[in-house]
Amino acid sequence: SQQGEEDPQALSIQEGENATMNCSYKTSINNLQWYRQNSGRGLVHLILIRSNEREKHSGRLRVTLDTSKKSSSLLITASRAADTASYFCATERDSSYKLIFGSGTRLLVRP
Amino acid sequence: NAGVTQTPKFQVLKTGQSMTLQCAQDMNHNSMYWYRQDPGMGLRLIYYSASEGTTDKGEVPNGYNVSRLNKREFSLRLESAAPSQTSVYFCASRTSSSGTDTQYFGPGTRLTVL
């Protein structure tokens, strides 16, 4: 079974708006990562947050982590049509280097 | 520097046929992974190799075998393909350096089993 569940499953917004995606997981983790997948392509790493961190920024991306609630959120500010993609959270539970992926959020940014 | 490459890009098999998916990375990474992605779902780990010479099962290993041929190459074999193995297969690699936890993905192999 998958570790992460993402919410919403699909999101449609207007260019310039912010997009927020949420991820919940079941067990304790070492870190949580967000990946992006354009249609028909492989995954690209966006950002990683460690279990002892609460918030991290990278460009227009902001990730938060609440280990007490076992949840994370990814915020994309000032979205662009090029941000249209599927976004996946993935958790690394221990030092095994294995990632467990969520089911993803499909983001559509309308021009 | 090509990153992670996979061959073939597309494959159609009949039930019961066998095939090997190839993966190679040129980033000198220690760890390599095979995932499958079914429509509308996230990736599920099939097998991984934490370092050259070792392989371990992931979430969904049944029906697959792997070989870590050397540090660069990690192959996935379907001995007797079944329609349930129709999926997109992704290979990934990562270094084991402390603080570097990113996995780098190949472009995927789309496999259809009839």
Predicted confidence band of residue B99 (pLDDT cuts 50, 70, 90):
low
Predicted confidence band of residue B42 (pLDDT cuts 50, 70, 90):
confident
What pLDDT sits at residue A1? Answer: 46
Kindly tell me the number of DSSP H helices and DSSP E strands found in chain A. 0, 11
User: CA A66 to CA A51: how far, in whole Å?
Assistant: 9
3-state secondary structure of A94: coil
pLDDT at B17 over 70: yes
What pLDDT sits at residue A24? Answer: 95
Predicted confidence band of residue A95 (pLDDT cuts 50, 70, 90):
low
Q: Do A44 and B105 touch (CB under 8 A)?
A: yes
Q: Do A101 and B108 touch (CB under 8 A)?
A: no
CB B79 within 8 A of CB B66: no
CB B91 within 8 A of CB B3: no
Higher pLDDT, A13 or B95: A13
What pLDDT sits at residue B100? Answer: 59
Classify residue B83 by its DSSP letter.
G
Q: Do A42 and B40 touch (CB under 8 A)?
A: no
What pLDDT sits at residue B97? Answer: 62
What pLDDT sits at residue A3? Answer: 59
Tell how strand A19-24 and strand A5-7 pair up. antiparallel
Q: Do B48 and A42 touch (CB under 8 A)?
A: no
Dihedral sign (CA A9, A13, A15, A17): negative
Q: If you measure CA to CA, which chain A residue comes closest to B93?
A: A97
What pLDDT sits at residue A96? Answer: 66
- For the segment A66-77, the average pLDDT, to the nearest whole number, is 96
Task: Please count the other Cβ atoms lying within 10 Å of the Cβ belonging to residue A27.
Answer: 10
* Mean pLDDT over the full length of chain B: 92
- For the segment B97-101, the average pLDDT, to the nearest whole number, is 61
Q: What angle do CA B106, B108, B112 make, to 5 degrees?
A: 165
Q: By CB neighbour count within 10 A (0-12 exposed, 13-18 middle, 19+ buried), where does B86 fall?
A: middle
What pLDDT sits at residue A81? Answer: 96
CB B43 within 8 A of CB B90: yes
pLDDT at B39 over 90: no
pLDDT in tens, B43-71: 999 999 988 889 999 999 999 999 998 99
Q: Does B90 touch chain A (CB under 8 A)?
A: yes
pLDDT in tens, A20-42: 999 999 988 989 999 999 988 88
pLDDT at B102 over 90: no
